[in-house]
Amino acid sequence: MTYVTVSAKIDKELRKKLAELGIRPSEVIRRALEKEVEERIMQQLYRKVEEASKIIKKIDREMWIKSIRESREER
């Protein structure tokens, strides 16, 4: 796995508090970014499911049944 460097500017006072508490900013930043990416991916998936649901609801029940039967007969 290859890595790239990402930097962020923070207040000197915050940097001091991080050091006092033994918090490594790189770990916090990495976890925060991973969490944000995961949340955004979930939001995208949710939107896609909603869009698909709207399309599926437009299809008549009888058409679904017919399609399933045809699919089974092809096997």
Domain ranges of the chain: 12-74
What number of residues does the chain have?
75
Q: Which residues, 6 or more positions from 25, have their beta carbon under 8 angstroms from its beta carbon?
A: 8, 10, 15, 18
pLDDT at 67: 85
pLDDT of amino acid 70: 87
Residue 13 is predicted with a pLDDT of 98
Q: Which parts of the chain sit beneath pLDDT 50? A: none
